[in-house]
Amino acid sequence: MLAKRIIPCLDVKDGKTVKGINFLGLKEVGDPVEMGIRYALQGADEIVYLDVSATIEGRNTFLKMVSSVAKNLSIPFTVGGGISSIENASALLLAGADKVSLNSAAVRDPSLVYNLAKRYGSQFVVVAIDARQIDGKWVVVTHSGKRETELELFTWAKEVENLGAGEILFTSMDHDGTKQGYACETLKKLSDSISIPLIASGGAGNTEHFSELFLNKCADGALASSVFHYGEINITELKRVLKSKNIDIRL
């Protein structure tokens, strides 16, 4: 059984890590390379970088940052945001990224998942799925939860797995930002329905939320941002707590 993973997520705009709510009211919280190094030293297993300004200029700035991260970081990192073609993904791979994360682009063109997995291998392709409950059904949404699709969470997750995705990153938009805990019941159901690793996102507020997630076997990894960025949770201490509860975690 693979060890559970702790994964900080950094939103990057114009070369700086930012934090806001649904990309509004963004505030700079640090240098993405320096923050990545710090999290790696604390024991993060992986890091996710999301480009939130994927214009042509923003893309060039982001590529430079990815290259710098690759030179300075000793742990795997995933990049996402605005990836809409094999060319986009190839440029990020050449810059040093270990994986790419597709979200809206996968919804628009599912064949992109298949083509990337075929060219670079499933381990390179992460599909991020945002969803919220509407009339008792988990509906896939895009554009930071603002646009509903006709896709249903569990069906879509199975489809992208069949297309070749190596991992799924699921964010419950109902839990995101609440710091009330992950959507464990839904995550457990989703994890049981697929055979590839599942990363949980949305709702982390304290160490107990991570413990609950892993003790109930709801996900293979836990992603969070603000609790790490603002020092509310130290990754080293978090992992010690998880280890004390006999959760398989790398220290």
Give the other-Cβ count within 10 Å of 150's Cβ. Answer: 8
Q: Has residue 111 been placed in a domain? A: yes
pLDDT in tens, 2-20: 899 999 999 998 889 987 6
Which domain range does residue 14 map to?
Answer: 5-244
Q: Tell me the catalytic residues.
A: 11, 130
Distance CA(73)–CA(78), nearest Å, equals 12
Residue 251 lies in a domain: no
pLDDT value at residue 176: 86
In a domain, 249, yes or no: no
Does any domain span residue 43? yes
Residue 247 pLDDT > 50, yes or no?
Answer: yes
pTM: 0.94
Tens-digit pLDDT profile for residues 121-142:
999 999 999 999 999 999 999 9
- Residue range 12-30: mean pLDDT, rounded: 75
Strand-strand pairing, 5-13 and 221-224: parallel
Domain count, the chain: 1
| Sign of the C-alpha dihedral computed for residues 174, 179, 180 and 186 taken in this order | positive
| Distance (Å, whole) CA 9 – CA 130 | 15
Residue 12 lies in a domain: yes
What tokens does 165 get?
A: 């995705």
Average model confidence (pLDDT) for the chain?
A: 93
In a domain, residue 72? The reply is yes
Handedness of CA 41, 76, 15, 167 (dihedral sign): negative
For 202, phi then psi, to 5°, come to 105, 105
Supply the pLDDT for residue 114: 98
Confidence of residue 25 (pLDDT cuts 50, 70, 90): low
250 domain residue, yes or no: no
Is the pLDDT score of 56 beyond 70?
A: no
CATH number, residue 37? 3.20.20.70
Domain for residue 215, yes or no?
yes
Cα 115 to Cα 57, 85, 89, 140, 160: the distances in Å are 26, 10, 11, 22, 12
